[in-house]
Every structure is written in C-alpha cells, then in structure tokens.
Structure 1
Amino acid sequence: MRLFLLLFITVPIVEMWLLIEVSSHIGAYSTIFLVFLTAAMGLALLRQQGLSTLLRVDQRMARGELPAGEILEGVMLAVGGALLLTPGFITDAIGFACLLPFSRKLLVALLLKQSKVQASYGNNRGFQSSFQSTESMRASSTQPDLQNGSVIEGEYKREP
C-alpha cells in the first residue's frame, strides 16, 4: 500500500519535471504535440491489439480452453491504454511496453510462470478459486481417460 502511495505522489512530480525539461529543449508546442501523438498512437495500437486479443479469447473458448494468457493480456492492454492517455513520457514508455506484442507477451509469460489460477465450482459452496504454483498444478492435474472407462460424476436436471 505504501508503495502505491509513493508511486502516486512521485510519478506525477517526475513526469512534470520531465515535461518541463523536454519543453525547454524542443519547445512547448512540440512537447504538447508529442504528448498528443503518443496518445493517438497508443489508442490506435490499443484498438488493434485489443481486437486481436478478443479474437484469440474467442478461439480458445471455442476449443474449451481457459484463455488465462489472453485475459492477462487484456488487463495489460487496459493498463497500457490508461497510461498512454496520461500525459507524460514515463507513463507512455510503460504504456507502450504493455501494448507492444513482444513485450506484453514476455510480461504475461513471466506472470503465468509465477502462478497459475485454478478455479472450480462445487460442493454447493459456490465459486472457489485458488492460486497454485506451476509445479503443483502439473502434479495435481489428472485428466480423466474416457476411452478406458473412466466415469465423470455429476448431477443434472431436466427442464420441460
């Protein structure tokens, strides 16, 4: 919590200082133009990357797979878009890192390597979710072998 408060206070101060320094070298109008240019480029990139990510989510869902990587990419796209709309060069650099495919995929791969999300619904207790390390997920993931007579138990209800 303290880290976020510190970032919330220091990032705008550093951004203002950097904007003043850049405008003293290239001029105020050029600096304002650069801020608008990065915002416009970011929005165009966000639109393109967002649509491609949505298509990949749809494809994985159609195959019956959990699109965990694509969901994280979507979150990173939203964060990157918000940072690009914020005036400043530091936030623009972080925003572009979230929007550019190669850096975003690298960050998502690092996040997915750190932890996996396991979600289940059962025992009339509602939705349960837990985070496990990748190794424990691999050790506990047993797929039913339907061709060798495995049975999946469940309940059903017929509605007229």
Structure 2
Amino acid sequence: MLVIRTVLFAILLIIPIAEIAVFLTVGSIIGVLPTLLIIVLTAILGAALLKRQGLSAFAKLQEDVRAGRVPTAAIGETITVAIAGMLLLTPGFITDTIGFLLFVPSVRSWLWKQISGSVQIHSAGGTTGGMGPGGGPRRTGGPPPVIDLESSEVRPDPTTPWREEQR
C-alpha cells in the first residue's frame, strides 16, 4: 500500500511540474495566446469525443447486459473513455496527448490486453467475468433465479432500521 501511495504522490507531483515546463516551452515558441487557445480547443474537442465515444461505449455495455453476458470488456472500455475525457478536460499538453491516445480504439484494445488478465468482475448472481478462451467475456452459470412473491407472503423484519415508524 505504501508503494501505491508513493507512486501516486510522485505522479501527482511530477505531472503538474512537467505540464508547467511544457506550457512555458510551447508558450515561448508560439506565444501565450496561441498556447491558451490550443488548450481551450483540446478541452472542447475532448468533450465532444467523450460524448460520442462515451455513449457508444455505454451502449455496448448495455447490450452485453441485455444479452446476459458479463460486460468485462465493455466496462474496461467505458472506464478508459471516461479517463480519456477527464485527461482532455484537464489543461495540459501531456494529459491531452494521453487522453487523445486513449480515444484511439486500437490503443484502448492494446491497453485492455495488457491489463485484462488481472481484471475479474463478480456479479450479484455469482457470475465471474474475465477473459474467456476466445478473447471475449467468460460467463459461468445461468441467469440468477427470479423470485416472485405476493405481498401476503412477505413478513417484515421487526429489527430492520428501515421501518416506517422509525423515520
């Protein structure tokens, strides 16, 4: 845990310092106003890309869920697109470069291949999602059972903190 904190601290310290250095360098070459204009334009372009690709990734996620598949890859893609959008909305040339790279599907695919072996998703129905033999999501078991009860078949728990009388 200490290693993670140290790495995170270093990243949070190094990236802003590197961004300032790049700002100063680019600003001295092309001027302050063009530098600021580039930063604003990348933020606008990033927001547009986030909306377009984010909706597409979310649609894939919903499609997998509706089809009864564990959406492991779709979750990874949705998270990656969200991170890319945040990086593009953060002012800076380094974060913009990383953000734009994460919007490229082949880069996302390569990144997913790098981390997919260590990612596993557990659903409430006991389904485990990881990468199956064909590179797609792996699913074990069937759909969770449906329990249909009438209101007369349910007895409230008198010890629950959610009772109406206690509100």
Query: Per chain length, whose mean CA-contact separation is higher, i.e. which structure has more relative contact order (CA < 8 Å, sep 6+)?
Result: 2
Q: How does 1:48-59 map to 2 (within 5 A)?
A: 48-59=52-63
Distance 1:3 1:105, change over 3 A: same
Task: Provide the rounded CA distance (Å) in 1 between the counterparts of 2:103 and 2:82.
Answer: 9
Contact 2:84 2:102 in 1 (8 A): yes
Q: 2:28 aligns with which of 24, 30, 34?
A: 24
Task: Provide the rounded CA distance (Å) in 2 between the counterparts of 1:115 and 1:134.
Answer: 12
Deviations 1:64-117 (A, max 9, x none): 111111111111111111111111111111111222222112212322233333
Question: How many residues are treated as equivalent by the alignment?
Answer: 143
Contact 2:61 2:74 in 1 (8 A): yes
Identity of aligned residues (%): 31
Indicate yes or no: 2:72 matched with 1:81.
Answer: no
- TM, length-normalised to structure 2: 0.72
Alpha carbon RMSD of aligned pairs, Å?
3.0
Instruction: Give 1 or 2: higher strand fraction.
Output: 1
Alpha-carbon offset, residue 120 of structure 1: 4.9
Distance 1:77 1:133, change over 3 A: closer
Task: Provide the rounded CA distance (Å) in 1 between the counterparts of 2:78 and 2:68.
Answer: 19
Contact 2:116 2:130 in 1 (8 A): no
Q: 1:96 aligns with which of 90, 100, 104?
A: 100
Distance 1:13 1:43, change over 3 A: same
Further displaced range: 51-60 or 105-114: 105-114
Q: Residue 9 of structure 2 corresponds to which residue in structure 1?
A: 5
Distance 1:26 1:86, change over 3 A: same
Unaligned runs of at least 5 residues, structure 1? 123-128, 136-140, 145-151
Distance 1:25 1:119, change over 3 A: same
Task: Provide the rounded CA distance (Å) in 1 between the counterparts of 2:120 and 2:105.
Answer: 21
Q: Residue 150 of structure 2 corresponds to which residue in structure 1?
A: 159
Alpha-carbon offset, residue 155 of structure 1: 8.4
